[in-house]
Structure 1
Amino acid sequence: MIPLKASPDQAPDSGAGDLPRHVAIIMDGNGRWAKARRLPRVAGHRRGVEAVRRIVRKAGEIGLEVLTLYAFSSENWRRPVEEVSDLMGLLRHFIRADLNEIAEAGVRIRVIGDYRAFQDDVVRLIDDAIARTAANRGLTLVIALNYGSQNEIARVARQLAERARAGEIEPAAIDAEAITAELDTSDLPPVDLLIRTSGERRLSNFLLWQSAYAELLFVDTLWPDFGEAELLEALGDFSRRERRFGGL
Structure 2
Amino acid sequence: MASAPPVIFAASRRKALRQRMLQAQRHGEDAPRFVLEDMIEDVRDRLSFVRHAPERSLVIGDWTGTLAEELGGEVVEADMVADGARMAINLAAPYPVSGFDFIACLGLLDTVNDLPGALVHIREALAPGGLAIASFVGGSSLSALRRIMLAADGDKPAARVHPMVDVRAGAQLLQRAGWADPVVDSHSLSVRYGSLERLVEDLRAQGLGSALASIAPALGNAGWQRARDAFAAEADSDGRVTESFEIVTLTGRRPKPRF
Structures share fold, TM-score greater than 0.5: no
| TM-score bracket relative to the smaller structure | under 0.3
Calculate the TM-score normalised by the size of structure 1: 0.27
Structure number with the bigger relative contact order (C-alpha 8 A, sep ≥ 6) is 1
Calculate the TM-score normalised by the size of structure 2: 0.26
**Structure with the higher fraction of residues in helix conformation:** 1
**Structure with the higher fraction of residues in strand conformation:** 2
